[in-house]
Amino acid sequence: MAENRKKILEMLADKKISVDDAYRLLSAIDSTESGQESTPKTETAGKVKPKYLRVTVLPDPEHEHSQNVDRVNVRVPMSLIRAGIKLTSLIPPEARDKVNGALREKGIGFDVRNMKPEDIEELIGALSDLEVDVVSAKGEKVKVFVE
């Protein structure tokens, strides 16, 4: 199986597959090695797991075709968010204490040291219900959602 992992990483390095595709393939290999089913589940109780966090900013329809308007289209793979959250264990103790203190000042009783893998999946599951739509005074439309 190490050869399959190497091949997947080479395909990722050569940009033949996306990070998300590599993640799914590596997950499938892990599932096969542990005796579980060979394909990762993408649905739980009829609900599709989100693959991307998406942020878009579009100009108002009047200025949509103008060259001097800003457009934003950001798509962040959920696998990157998962990895980032897991990296909280690498935060130096001094910095972690400052983060926890800042959260407490804002009234958020959360300690980053207590983050567990199941918490990450619960957080990502909650994101699947997230949808933010904002229309600015200038008519720009901002959307934050998962897909």
Count how many domains the chain has: 2
Q: Same domain for 14 and 57?
A: no
Q: Same domain for 36 and 46?
A: no
Range of the domain at 130: 42-146
Q: Same domain for 115 and 76?
A: yes
Q: Same domain for 61 and 112?
A: yes
Listed as own residue / partner, the contacts of 59-67 with beta carbons closer than 8 Å and 24 or more positions apart are 59/139, 59/140, 60/138, 60/139, 60/140, 60/141, 61/139, 62/139, 63/139
pLDDT, tens digit, 9 for 90 and up, residues 92-147: 888 888 988 888 898 888 777 777 767 777 777 777 777 888 888 888 888 888 88
Q: Same domain for 87 and 117?
A: yes
Q: Same domain for 46 and 63?
A: yes
Residue 74 gets the label, from left (phi > 0), alpha (psi -120 to 50) or beta, of beta
pLDDT, tens digit, 9 for 90 and up, residues 39-67: 444 444 556 678 888 899 888 777 666 77
Q: Same domain for 34 and 50?
A: no
Q: Same domain for 34 and 94?
A: no
